[in-house]
A = this chain, B = another copy of it.
Amino acid sequence: MESVLNYLERNQSRFVDELCHYVRFRSVSAQPQHAGDTRACAEWLVNHCRDIGLEARLCPTDGNPIVVAKTPRKKTVARRRHFMVYGHYDVQPPEPFELWTTPPFQPTIRGRSLFGRGASDNKGQNLAHLKAVEAYLKTGTELPCDLTFVIEGEEEVGSKSLAGFLQEHRDELRCDAVVVSDTGMPAKNLPALTYALRGIAAFEITLHGPSRDLHSGIFGGSLQNPAMALSRLLATIHDDKGRIRIPGFYKDVVALTKFERKQLARLPFNRNKYRKFLGVPELFGEHGFTPDEQRSARPTFEINGLTSGYQGEGSKTIVPAWAKAKITVRLVPDQEPAHIIKSVRAFFEKNCPPGVRIEVKAGHGAEPYMVSPQSADAQAALRALKNAFRREPVLLREGGSIPIVNQFKKVLGADTLLLGLALPDDNAHSPNEKFDLDVFEGGQRMGAMLWRELA
């Protein structure tokens, strides 16, 4: 083990260079113009896995290809445990460009942070695991278990191809547990095991009014304004206490236990610091819950984008032909996306103001997730975290969604260990995304120790 850890320590500078190379690919899965960049990123990753000593291949899908890389299998008689490491090489859109201090795809180091789109979510995190395995393979240290890396290119657009891929390769991929580093840790020296994730359901609502933009002076007053109708419709969602008014919405929500609320209350939290960090005049959320509970253990209804009418300079006096809202609902155990999609759609259709035609498109959905932090594998992971970061790890629920985690359970029968390496100020999905280089190194150590603990 010592030679593995020494190898990691000696090679940090090269690893950072490799991460920069990885971040340079504009692998934005939501934007068709970057399909070529996304594929180039996958091809680089396969070659990199081969250089490390893994047996790697690119698996085509209907969308972006999936990288599969395996440790060389020993022909032992005794059955070894098999773990899958999941990550993604695609990234969120970088817009708005003008808010980046340095360009999103020109990775730049300032202090101990590497800035660039995807540095934290998720390239830095999956590369840390690859570097841990590289250390075993390049020092000739025997890995105590078999590993398969599955690194996909559609996580940011709902992992459309992965479920089918898992089904198709279920025999090859069947494993004892899945390891995912795509969640967060509360602070640089405070490692965490995440035992619950929120699910998601995405919508796009369009209200159609007149067949074209109309002069608001000549016609305004005699027809419904689609932008106003959309505002009125969206305003019906919450009551004044931040609670969602859609009938049946909270029906399947598992209430937080006292133990859980105690665990969450142990996290470092300073209201004023958090408010300043977000940059808001005051915090706001569902009454009766702490901000950490609101953002991890309670369902939400968020507008991600609004579009209607004229958006350019100056003014254009029109009644717009249509108005659109992009929406994602975050779900908690045991809410089901299909049920929530049905309830939301029914609510929208019922409450749509007169004079417009409503169109509701349901996008990707994912179930919320929860596992027991008391299992043997979870306890092993907690030991690896503790030894790698030299600090007692905390138990977390996280507000983000990793839709595929439920598929691992359903298709492969495997629980997932969520060992996140993203810091709260990593700006995932925001301008100036970064990854902490100390955490990068700690993550590599954790990866290296993990296989021994799990085996």
A residues engaging B (CB < 8 A)?
29-32, 92-93, 95-96, 99, 157-158, 184, 198, 200, 202, 204, 209-225, 227-228, 230-238, 274, 278-286, 291-292, 294-296, 298, 300-320, 323, 325-326, 328, 330, 353-357, 363-364, 398-401, 424, 427-432
Which chain B positions have C-beta within 8 A of A235? 231-232, 234-236
- Shortest Cβ gap from A321 to chain B (Å): 8
Contact yes or no, B303 A231, CB < 8 A = yes
Residue of B nearest to A212 (CB): B430
Which chain B positions have C-beta within 8 A of A302? 216, 220, 225, 228, 317, 319
Which chain B positions have C-beta within 8 A of A221? 285-286, 294-296, 298, 300, 330, 399
Contact yes or no, B310 A215, CB < 8 A = no
Residue of B nearest to A198 (CB): B217
**CA–CA, A308 to B302, complex, Å?**
12
- Shortest Cβ gap from A292 to chain B (Å): 8
Contact yes or no, B300 A311, CB < 8 A = no
**CA–CA, A292 to B308, complex, Å?**
26
For this complex, 6 residue pairs linking A to B, each with C-beta atoms less than 8 Å apart, are A218-B400, A222-B278, A223-B280, A281-B355, A307-B311, A318-B429
Which chain B positions have C-beta within 8 A of A326? 309-311, 315-316
Which chain B positions have C-beta within 8 A of A31? 312-314
Contact yes or no, B234 A316, CB < 8 A = no
- Shortest Cβ gap from A410 to chain B (Å): 21
**CA–CA, A96 to B427, complex, Å?**
34
**CA–CA, A308 to B325, complex, Å?**
9
* In the complex with contacts A30-B314, A315-B304, A330-B230 CB distance below 8 A: no
Chain A interface SS verdict (over half): loop
Which chain B positions have C-beta within 8 A of A424? 218
* In the complex with contacts A212-B431, A218-B400, A320-B308 CB distance below 8 A: no
Contact yes or no, A354 B284, CB < 8 A = yes
Contact yes or no, A305 B316, CB < 8 A = yes
**CA–CA, A219 to B277, complex, Å?**
11
Contact yes or no, B220 A316, CB < 8 A = no
Chain B CB within 10 Å, residue with most, of A31, A222, A294? A222
Contact yes or no, A304 B216, CB < 8 A = yes
**CA–CA, A355 to B447, complex, Å?**
40
**CA–CA, A331 to B449, complex, Å?**
72
Instruction: Tell which of B157, B238, B280, B283 touches A228, judged by Cβ atoms closer than 8 Å.
Output: B238
Contact yes or no, B399 A219, CB < 8 A = yes
Contact yes or no, B216 A300, CB < 8 A = yes
**CA–CA, A323 to B220, complex, Å?**
23
**CA–CA, A227 to B428, complex, Å?**
20
Contact yes or no, A320 B303, CB < 8 A = yes
Beyond A216-B328, A231-B232, 9 additional contacts (C-beta under 8 Å) are A31-B314, A210-B278, A211-B280, A218-B399, A222-B284, A227-B325, A304-B309, A304-B319, A307-B307
